[in-house]
Amino acid sequence: MSDLSQEFIEFSIKMQVLKFGEFKTKAGRLSPYFFNAGLFNDGESLLKLGEFYAKSIQQSGIQFDMLFGPAYKGIPLVCAISIAFARQGINYPYAYNRKEAKDHGEGGTLVGTPLFGKVLIVDDVISAGTSIRESVDLIKQNGATPCGVSLALDRQEKGQTALSAVQEVETHYHIPVSSIAKLSDLFKFLENNQDLAQHLHNVVHYRQLYCTFENNE
């Protein structure tokens, strides 16, 4: 587990973005933990989140020209990441989409910089992969190239096949997916945290039922 992923998990727990208990996921599974990036909901926490993303993106080595955030959660994320890079003296343009096309003013579904070059998609997690699929299609329709995806947390849960939802995106679209932290990082974090160790058994059980075991874990 990297220092970055450990710090991010600690920060997420502190902000109550990452909680433990019993939660029903979109897939109908009962999960022993829940991650809600929407609770990074003030300036200070969003700034810190953007810095975590920026470091993770830099460590991934993905080369890109601009950022794209799918509506709705991707919108504040892409703004925060762009600001974090700007604080380093790196000025990346960004764009996001509307759920409904605007029929007045400039119109259309896109807001921000017109899509161009290599576009990095930013989201919080991948569940069914719907927002990523829609983002890839939108980027291609505008003559640009989707070059990767950056996530906050990779839940490492199985998708429609034996692969995880993230692995399915990588395989289908031939683009890399990076994340600040993975479920395997949370597993190791709980192993080394006495205050939260009581949740370890439930996380292990959930992982055995619904998650993939990737190489080098």
Beta bridge partner(s), residue 164: 158
Query: How many CA atoms lie less than 13 Å away from 135 in the CB half-sphere?
Result: 29
Terminal Cα-to-Cα distance of the chain (whole angstroms): 9
The single residue listed with the structure tokens 């960004």 is 94
Decide the pairing of beta strands 94-102 and 108-112. Answer: antiparallel
Beta bridge partner(s), residue 20: 33
Q: Helix H segments across the chain?
A: 3-14, 43-60, 74-87, 130-141, 165-173, 183-191, 200-210
- Contact by Cβ (8 Å): 58, 92: no
Question: Which residues are marked as active site?
Answer: 102, 104
Cis amide linkage into residue 72, ω under 30° from 0: yes
Query: How many CA atoms lie less than 13 Å away from 127 in the CB half-sphere?
Result: 12
Alpha-carbon gap, residue 163 to 92, rounded angstroms: 33
Tokens representing residue 49 in the block: 């989140």
